[in-house]
Amino acid sequence: MLMRSMISKKLSRRVGLTSLLPLGLFTVPFAQSAWGVGPDRPVMLRDITDVEGVRDNQLVGYGLVVGLRGTGDRQQTYFTVQTLANAMTRLGVQISPAQVVVKNVAAVFITASLPPFARPGSKLDITVSSAGDAKSLEGGVLLMTSLRGPDGQVYAEAQGPLALGGYTEGSAQTMRSVNHPTVGRIPAGAIVEREAVVDLSQFHTVSFLLRNPDFTAAQSAAEAINQEFHHTVANAVDSRTVEVNVSAAGSIPVPLLIARVQALSINVHEPARVVINERTGTIVMGGSVTLSPVSVLHGSLSIQVDTYHSVSQALPDATAGKTVDVTNSTVAVKDLPAQSIRLENGANVDDLIRGLHTIGATSHDIVSILQAIKAAGGLQADLEVI
């Protein structure tokens, strides 16, 4: 009898430095890129600001999804059993939680966003997520559930059949799951019962909040507003806030004032910023990213260790038969010569892409490369890792 197993271990090490681009937008989701034209671009204030006090409100609820095909919570998920027993009691059916079988039922949390100025009767999209150990919510129907705000008040009621973007099929040994079958959505699945009141007529000042704080953009916005109304009605409070005096703007309704301000355009300078997602290897580079002269060195060392375990047994007619465990190991070392490029001051995105392709760097290599350049002071931009 001969049994053979192989254990293979691979260790890799990459060393490198590189640099960044001065133009537009560079996105690297595994060696794909796109870029803009210049650092300055006109944008409407509605696209870069929010009005203070006019916002969404988060809602949450807890309920039950019924009608599942044996993929609900297990019997030991006690809170599902208790919730179902309580729901039956409210409907006039007295049962003991010990008698409830919940394989066709799942406890869920429901989340939604209540937009500003939503009135009773408006409909909301909701997201339904399993709270227990259900395998799938496919084919389920959400029972009527109250959605509450941070103040504990009920703002909407949710109910309806779920729409899933995934599924689970097969037994425990051959199960196949696609996407997330324990999360679903119900378009227009909630009806607003209480409005979140925002009385614009009581606003004495309207504050416009920049989504990306910038003193230059705030001052430009204030100047554009003052030019629109032909006198001083706005001032930049800080890098994020631009305040507009309602009374100084004239006898116009606040909604019209907001509409006139949001329709204005200003020139926005792209921030010199590089955003890295280490989990996916995605790199996004903003405009105005510059670099100092940088040399790039990129090498590769690969070590592979293969171990073979074999068990051999002597023939039956042997005089002194023994079972022997034999271990054989082989080691292969492959050290490739280092490759290098040099990017001069003011190198553009084409130089970067050609250089990185030349040395064979992957997007995950570039993550470490950019961090090394920033530490060395060669990257003239903010480096943000998410």
DSSP string, 125-155: EEEEEESS--S--TT-EEEEEEEE-TTS-EE
Contact call for residues 151 and 68 (beta carbons, < 8 A): no
Tell me: the pLDDT tens digits for 66-113?
999 888 888 777 888 888 888 888 888 887 777 777 789 999 999 999
When pLDDT is cut at 50, 70 and 90, the band that residue 327 belongs to is low
Helix/strand number for the chain, H first, E second: 6, 24
Task: Let me know the angle formed at the C-alpha of 246 by 240 and 251, rounded to the nearest 5 degrees.
Answer: 155
Q: CA–CA separation, 116 vs 269, rounded Å?
A: 30
Tell me: the pLDDT tens digits for 155-172?
999 999 999 876 666 555
Tell me: the pLDDT tens digits for 177-227?
666 789 999 999 999 999 888 888 889 999 999 998 999 999 999 999 999
| 177 residue type, one letter | S
How much is the CA Rg of the chain, to the nearest whole Å?
31
- Rounded to two decimals, the pTM is 0.65
Spatial CB neighbours of 93, under 8 Å, sequence gap ≥ 6: none
Q: CA–CA separation, 164 vs 182, rounded Å?
A: 8
Burial of 206 per CB tally in 10 Å (0-12, 13-18, 19+)? buried
* Rounded average pLDDT over 310-315: 56
When pLDDT is cut at 50, 70 and 90, the band that residue 39 belongs to is low
Q: What is the pLDDT of residue 24?
A: 31
